[in-house]
Chain A
């Protein structure tokens, strides 16, 4: 059973069409939840860290929220340059010290 599950696997939106990506996790003792953006052929780029339920972070058109069992990445009025794979990862007690456990990602395409 995957410890971190992202949905949907792929999402195609029109420019300006807002939506949300989901990251659910089953680990106990969450120490942090992380969102990354990855462009094709490149390493992941850090976006946000969330530490406790109720916390929210924003950056431009992106807003990340956290509950006790899942996180959402809300994308408001997206532009084509927001197209990328968005990765969620968790750090938890009992995990490999400071190593992150990643979900498989959501591949987002924004059509002009």
Chain B
């Protein structure tokens, strides 16, 4: 079975803090993705990576950055957290060219 794990299920941070969300997959997938999910807005793509050290902006990259130093690990960074970044963050991975994506359990981030 594909396994995508995320470092925290719940996280509470203060405005202005730097926040790291970690994602690890064990299927040797080339592609990794970060989405956020909000009521009424659905899932929206923040960033994705198709190889180590490669990254591409998604639909809503503002206020976020990413890092992929190893194939199995993809990190999402909030440089200075703001209250409008309170959301459910979902990581996904998949093989290049297959388009199927497998999701982790999500991290519910609250910024106060």
Q: Which residues of A contact B (CB under 8 A)?
A: 31-32, 34, 36, 41-46, 49, 87, 89, 91, 96-105
A92 to chain B, nearest CB (A): 11
Q: Are B48 and A43 in contact (CB under 8 A)?
A: no
Q: Are A49 and B106 in contact (CB under 8 A)?
A: no
Q: How many residues belonging to B are interface residues under a CB distance threshold of 8 Å?
A: 28
Given A87-B43, A105-B42, A100 and B105 contact (CB-CB distance below 8 Å): no
Q: Are B99 and A97 in contact (CB under 8 A)?
A: no
Specify which of A31, A44, A101, A104 is in contact with B99 (CB 8 Å cutoff).
A31
Q: Are A43 and B31 in contact (CB under 8 A)?
A: no
Q: Are B90 and A43 in contact (CB under 8 A)?
A: yes
Q: Which residues of B contact A (CB under 8 A)?
A: 4, 31, 33, 40-45, 48, 50, 56-59, 90, 92, 94, 96, 99-106, 108
Q: Are A98 and B104 in contact (CB under 8 A)?
A: no
10 cross-chain CB contacts under 8 A: A34-B99, A43-B90, A46-B101, A46-B102, A97-B56, A98-B31, A98-B50, A99-B48, A100-B99, A100-B101
B72 to chain A, nearest CB (A): 17
Q: Are B103 and A96 in contact (CB under 8 A)?
A: no
Q: Are B33 and A49 in contact (CB under 8 A)?
A: no
Give A63 to B40 CA distance when docked, in angstroms: 26
Give A69 to B75 CA distance when docked, in angstroms: 36
- On chain B, the residues within 8 Å of A100 by CB distance are 43, 45, 99, 101
Q: Are B100 and A97 in contact (CB under 8 A)?
A: no
Q: Are B59 and A102 in contact (CB under 8 A)?
A: no
Specify which of A31, A34, A41, A103 is in contact with B42 (CB 8 Å cutoff).
A103
